[in-house]
Amino acid sequence: MKTLQEIGPSDCEEQFRPKIHGLYALERAFEGRGLDFGLIVSSLSSVLGILGLAAYPAAHAFIDAFAHKHNRTDSTPWTAVNWDNWLTKKGPGPGADLIGDGLYMTAEEGIEAFERLMSVVPVTQVLISTADLDARIDKWVNRRFAQDARSPREARPASLHARPTARTGYVAPRTEAERILVEIWEQTLGFESVGIDDNYFDLGGDSVLAIHIIARARKAGLRLAPRQLFQYQTIAELAAVAGAGSAIRPGPDEPTGPAPLTPIQRWFFEQDQPEPHHWNLSMLLEVREELDLTMLQTIMRCLVENHGALCLRFVRRQSTWHQVSITPDNEFVTELDLSLLTDAEQWQALEAEAARLQTSLDLSNGPLLRVALFDFGPRRAKRLLIIIHHLLVDIISLRILLEDFQTACQKIREGVPVELSASTTSFTAWARRLYKHARSPELQSEREYWLSQPWARVAPLPVDFPGGVNSEGSARAVSVSLDVDETTVLLQDVPQVYNTQINDVLLTALARAFSGWTGARLLSVDLEGHGREEIIEGVELWRTLGWFTTLFPVLLDLEGRSGTAEALKAIKGQLRRVPNRGIGYGLLRYLADDPDTARRLKELPQPEVAFLYMGQFDQDLSGSSLFRAAEESAGPSRSPRGIRQHLLDVSGYVFKGKLRVDVTYSQNLHRRSTIEGLARSFLESLRLIITDCQAAESSQHTPSDFPAARLSQEQLDRVVTKISRLQASQLKK
């Protein structure tokens, strides 16, 4: 790839020829002919640019000027159109990454876009996208989102944001523990001048970030557990209990041998996918420092030795899957020399090889991990591709793995032995302990909750095309987003007013959006959680690789509440009643020694909607000198032949200070316009909550804030009113 300073006339001529010379040829061919209209079409990359083709958008600037000139000098209306790429084929090869990104439009969508274009008053320039154009542009420019639908780009802001308005004034740290925690909170949450009395959730904290905060605190010598961050929500409170408990040492775990499948692994095999080996998580990284094959093999050997989950294999015996640990070799690490290819050929070769590697995993024989180093020669940075089957890792695991990779690389460069942070409870040990816990009397107390919900009252969702196949290959996505100011209120102000966590707000907006679409007050949702719950004494998972995700149904009932605040309070209370953040559902259904309960749970109507909030990614992977996320595609992470488990998958995350929500659907079942309407309704519901929050004069509580009091909402409101009146009378005195 050449820099702007290195580009010469011959380089530009090659990129100018198709557009400029071709347009002159068309002008000559149509000279003197009466035309009804003229459309000059190109992709959005003509506006956004293409790496390595700096003159390409400049050529399109000529097209815009051409249209302007002809609209002033002749009667034919000319329009320069930039729209999404047209999807003309599926499968590996150039353009295959567009399927995973959603950066394309189908033939049907293209025809509709053309018809809409022809129905409007002629204009000189038009940008067309079948989805939210702002989100589409961000996805195109920041192609790291394309690495995996559930693996958003990791980045660190250049500077911290100013401390938001808090319930309490700023109080500086007084002890070493408080100073450590202040620094960790500032780095993780992205704010400067965090005070020791600031509330974690008021600063936009969530359960995913809590795991990272605790991991950093443990590395700094503070002994804390994630649950303590929910119990002690300020730094002053948290520092006071740091190190108070006795050290927990994970028990020994045999490196090889069988281990029971966890609930989420059993759920995966229950789906009976046609190509179960192709269901991956992946990262494509730009390597900013020297990294060769020998160093890469050494690093990966250290990571495999330190993280037992990377040694797992899955075998099928008599229609039942089992997981075992083995000692893998280093054959999963490869290097490809692409230095003799042209820039365009290098892009194509990388994406073709990435697509091939995504399909190359083997559940039983291995590998279930692929690492490839792409060498483009001295003019361009290398690329590192890491592909791991989802059965081995989750998103939190990828972050742990990347942090350890950078630590090992630094140690090797310094010429010192590679010593990674102390391991926590291994995944196989967790699987065995979880299996025993599923047979404990404590879990049986949750049985009534899961079986007593009125799941059968939930009506099926409407579809536009009944009978369509809900395949991965037919999946499309609609993206919407709040702006930075709205997101700030959502993360910082709403929790203070309503004493909520982010899922309370998002699921309330989701329930209201679906109610507006279907007319029903009930919505059943499969909710995903990180699953690293502290339910077993002596287990620590904050540095463990594995697939810990929990998947459990929740019933959202608006209870006929038309007001925004009332609906939010209702949904918040319902979510608080879910025992142990939902982990017991999978245990009862898949692991408990209770066939009757397992059967009854399996027979319940399964939710048609899945929801996942992935957290905030603005502060992830702080200032890495080794890596930054690459802009190319890591290839399709799932087989297009696979069957989707839900009609609609809704996922949200915060990136660049904006909340983004993706609604994934099957074009075999729904029209894009249907899902666009649903997504817009979701945003409108969120904005109503934000507006009500800004108008609120005081904090509002629900009975779930005071579970021991056993009050109804009406009783609590009366108590709060009396307290407020008493406070007012005291102030008058």
Beta carbons within 8 Å of 23's beta carbon, 6+ residues apart: 40, 62, 63, 66
CB 3 within 8 A of CB 21: no
Within this chain, do residues 412 and 435 fall inside the same structural domain, yes or no? no
- Determine the residue type at 393: V
Number of domains in the chain: 4
- Determine the residue type at 357: L
CATH code, domain with 359:
3.30.559.10
Does residue 10 form part of some domain?
yes
CATH code, domain with 216:
1.10.1200.10
Within this chain, do residues 402 and 462 fall inside the same structural domain, yes or no? no
Q: How far is CA 639 from CA 100, 281, 499, in A?
A: 11, 12, 42
What's the pLDDT at 93?
44
Within this chain, do residues 437 and 539 fall inside the same structural domain, yes or no? yes
| Residue 434 CB neighbours (<10 A) | 23
Domain that holds residue 104: 4-130
Tokens coding 333: 């690490």
What's the pLDDT at 188?
80
CA 10 from centre of chain: 43
CB 341 within 8 A of CB 354: no
Within this chain, do residues 574 and 678 fall inside the same structural domain, yes or no? yes
How large a percentage of the chain has pLDDT more than 90? 45
Does residue 246 form part of some domain?
no
SS3 label, residue 257: strand
Extract the runs of DSSP E, i.e. beta strands, from 558-626. 609-616
Does residue 733 form part of some domain?
no
Tokens coding 188: 């993780």
Does residue 138 form part of some domain?
no
Tokens coding 115: 């018809």
Within this chain, do residues 349 and 491 fall inside the same structural domain, yes or no? no
| Residue 597 CB neighbours (<10 A) | 18
CB 504 within 8 A of CB 573: no
Within this chain, do residues 544 and 651 fall inside the same structural domain, yes or no? yes
Statement: residue 71 has pLDDT above 90: no
Does residue 731 form part of some domain?
no
Place 42 in a pLDDT band, splitting at 50, 70 and 90. confident
Place 101 in a pLDDT band, splitting at 50, 70 and 90. very low
Tokens coding 66: 């051409």
CATH code, domain with 36:
3.40.50.720
CB 369 within 8 A of CB 392: yes
Within this chain, do residues 27 and 107 fall inside the same structural domain, yes or no? yes
Question: Last residue of some domain: 421, 453, 481?
Answer: 421
Within this chain, do residues 632 and 502 fall inside the same structural domain, yes or no? yes
Does residue 273 form part of some domain?
yes
Residues 340-349 have pLDDT tens digits of 999 889 999 9
Within this chain, do residues 481 and 534 fall inside the same structural domain, yes or no? yes
Residues 670-697 have pLDDT tens digits of 999 999 999 999 999 999 999 988 887 6
How is residue 328 annotated by DSSP? Answer: -
Q: What are phi and psi of 428, to 5 degrees?
A: -70, -35
Does residue 166 form part of some domain?
no
Of 106, 131, 104, nearest to 680 by C-alpha is: 131
Beta carbons within 8 Å of 304's beta carbon, 6+ residues apart: 310, 311, 328, 369
- C-alpha–C-alpha distance, residues 351 and 571, integer Å: 44
Statement: residue 501 has pLDDT above 80: yes
- C-alpha–C-alpha distance, residues 209 and 207, integer Å: 6
For the entire predicted model, the pTM comes to 0.69
Within this chain, do residues 504 and 544 fall inside the same structural domain, yes or no? yes
Within this chain, do residues 384 and 468 fall inside the same structural domain, yes or no? no
Place 634 in a pLDDT band, splitting at 50, 70 and 90. very high
CB 351 within 8 A of CB 633: yes
Place 142 in a pLDDT band, splitting at 50, 70 and 90. very low
Does residue 595 form part of some domain?
yes
Q: What burial class does residue 105 get, using C-beta atoms within 10 Å of its C-beta: 0-12 exposed, 13-18 middle, 19+ buried?
A: buried
Residues 254-284 have pLDDT tens digits of 445 678 999 999 999 999 999 999 999 999 9
Question: Last residue of some domain: 403, 421, 439?
Answer: 421
Alpha helices in 196-309 (DSSP H): 207-219, 226-231, 235-241, 263-270, 293-306
CB 399 within 8 A of CB 620: yes
Question: Last residue of some domain: 370, 391, 421?
Answer: 421
Within this chain, do residues 495 and 614 fall inside the same structural domain, yes or no? yes
- C-alpha–C-alpha distance, residues 559 and 334, integer Å: 57
CB 479 within 8 A of CB 132: yes
CATH code, domain with 563:
3.30.559.30
